Amino acid sequence: MLKFEESARIIAAESQYVSGGVNSNFRLGMSPGPLVFTHGEGAYLHDVDGNKLIDYYCGMGAMVLGHTPPGVQAAVKSQVDKGILFAGQAPIEYEAARIICERIPSAERLRFGSSGSEVAQAAMRVSRAATGRQTIVKFEGHYHGWFDNVLWSTAPALADAGPADAPVLVAGSKGQARADGDGLDVLQWNDLAAVEARLARGDVAAIMMEAAMCNQGAIAPMPGYLEGVQAACRKHGTILIFDEVITGFRLGASGAQGRFNVTPDLSIFAKAIANGFPVAAIVGRADLMDMFSTGGVLHGGTFNSQPVAMAAMVATQQGLTPEHYERTSVYGVRLRDGIRDILAQAGIKAQVTGFELMFHVAFGLDAPARNYRDLTKADKAGYSRFSQALLQHGVRVLERGAWFVSSEHNDAVVDKTLEAVRAAAKDVAPSLAT
């Protein structure tokens, strides 16, 4: 049995200074408790109890090149020697911008920020300014950051969420005012008719969506869905925003928009863009992006395009070669399909869905989920027991079912992981209803 007692001791002691011992609520509720790490190494994390864990959190999706990529480390060290923050421009940020504009189909121009939550705000603001309309449509189960005006219906209890064909907004946190949701409307995702009907009312500034739903589940858009939404947006003068904070640089070098060949008006990126450094980007049509410089739309941020983070970004992007995607996808697919086979052999009913470098495991579903409401039928408690069993076998996965793969999850790491999956499946299978 692996022990996590030193982590527990530190979290309890440091809760005196840091609320709950953690600096994000998303690090709070995990079993056996939040862990404290001493260092990372490729695909591994080392914790204060001396455990060496294969890590599939990958910094919540950010560490696409693993925990210690030499190119990124060297670029950061070299930039630190040149200075940290200029409150002015540096050549490195233009190099970074050129790379993104060349890679991302929708990126005619961009602005950098520091987190996905922030650039989601910028996207909503510029959409409202450009259209003169107030309403932003989002989708149940999609997450666009933790701010008051958009943290709605991210993981609502169905009892509160209204009927599937007319969902109602549900706040994601105590402390949000009802009025914070006034500029928002919510729909079921992957339902084109619902979008067409809503946009026909002519008052929607923007539709914002994860183009593949990955914050909950790992669900591809139905064939024709993205194209249909884009056509409806064009018809009704609505701006289409893709939130690629997870899918960017994971579903391929050009994100979900390149993979599914649908180019939105605006998109936002963060996480894997700079392999763990706080970089985000809003990119899009030149006429919309120029509203920040000449159209009276404010976008600010002391840390925007911070040169050290920009150096990390450029080095990360240089690592994201076609060869990286080819090689890492082979590992990811071997892992994903291996998990599916092992769970089936163990008699555990599960859906393993998603992509090469990001997939999702849901217990208890008869068919792959198409939207948030399908996902709510999964056996979350059963999967949580499985994730705890995996941790006991040295593999750290998110309890919500997501797996993030990096270039460091090579064949040897996948072999070890599948061994652990086999052992964990054996541990929990007797307790799962089939």
User: Which are the catalytic amino acids?
Assistant: 143, 243, 271
H-helix or E-strand spanning residue 131:
helix 116-131
Sign of CA dihedral 160, 163, 164, 169: negative
Task: Give the separation between CA 49 and CA 144, rounded to whole angstroms.
Answer: 35
Q: Which is nearer to ligand PLP, 194 or 208 (CB)?
A: 208
Beta bridge partners of 363: 350
Task: Give the separation between CA 346 and CA 426, rounded to whole angstroms.
Answer: 7
Site string for ligand PLP, 57-76 (x = CB under 6 A): ---x----------------
Q: Which of 161, 270, 289, 335 binds ligand PLP (CB under 6 A)?
A: 270
Under the binding rule (CB under 6 A), the answer on residue 210 touching ligand PLP is yes
Task: Give the separation between CA 271 and CA 58, rounded to whole angstroms.
Answer: 10
Q: Which of 34, 69, 145, 307 binds ligand PLP (CB under 6 A)?
A: 145
H-helix or E-strand spanning residue 82:
helix 70-82
According to DSSP, the β-strands at 204-209 and 135-139 are: parallel
Interacting span for ligand PLP (CB under 6 A) from 111-119, 157-165, 380-388, 405-413: 111-119
Q: Which residue is nearest to ligand PLP (CB)?
A: 116
- Amino acid letter at 192? L
CB-CB contact of 84 with 305 (8 Å): no
DSSP label at 188?
-
Task: Give the separation between CA 279 and CA 142, rounded to whole angstroms.
Answer: 21
Interacting span for ligand PLP (CB under 6 A) from 41-49, 63-71, 110-118, 252-260: 110-118
- Amino acid letter at 219? I
158 Cα distance to chain centroid: 23
Which tokens go with 64? 């696409």
Q: Which of 79, 106, 115, 371 binds ligand PLP (CB under 6 A)?
A: 115
Site string for ligand PLP, 230-259 (x = CB under 6 A): -------------x-xx-------------
Beta bridge partners of 52: 46
Under the binding rule (CB under 6 A), the answer on residue 117 touching ligand PLP is yes
Interacting span for ligand PLP (CB under 6 A) from 27-35, 90-98, 140-148, 298-306: 140-148
Q: Which of 128, 144, 299, 400 binds ligand PLP (CB under 6 A)?
A: 144
Task: Give the separation between CA 352 and CA 354, rounded to whole angstroms.
Answer: 7
Under the binding rule (CB under 6 A), the answer on residue 422 touching ligand PLP is no
Q: Which of 143, 225, 249, 363 binds ligand PLP (CB under 6 A)?
A: 143
Under the binding rule (CB under 6 A), the answer on residue 309 touching ligand PLP is no
**Shortest separation between residue 27's beta carbon and ligand PLP, angstroms:** 12
Q: Which is nearer to ligand PLP, 312 or 425 (CB)?
A: 312
Number of residues that bind ligand PLP (CB under 6 A): 14
CA distances for 216 relative to 40, 54, 243, 371, 398, angstroms: 26, 22, 13, 9, 11
Under the binding rule (CB under 6 A), the answer on residue 207 touching ligand PLP is no
Interacting span for ligand PLP (CB under 6 A) from 116-124, 256-264, 304-312, 424-432: 116-124
- Amino acid letter at 298? L
- Of 93, 5, 87, the closest CA to residue 50 belongs to 5
Interacting span for ligand PLP (CB under 6 A) from 138-146, 325-333, 384-392, 421-429: 138-146
Which tokens go with 59? 């910094």
Q: Which is nearer to ligand PLP, 214 or 425 (CB)?
A: 214
**Contacting positions for ligand PLP (CB under 6 A):** 60, 115-117, 120, 143-145, 210, 215, 243, 245-246, 270
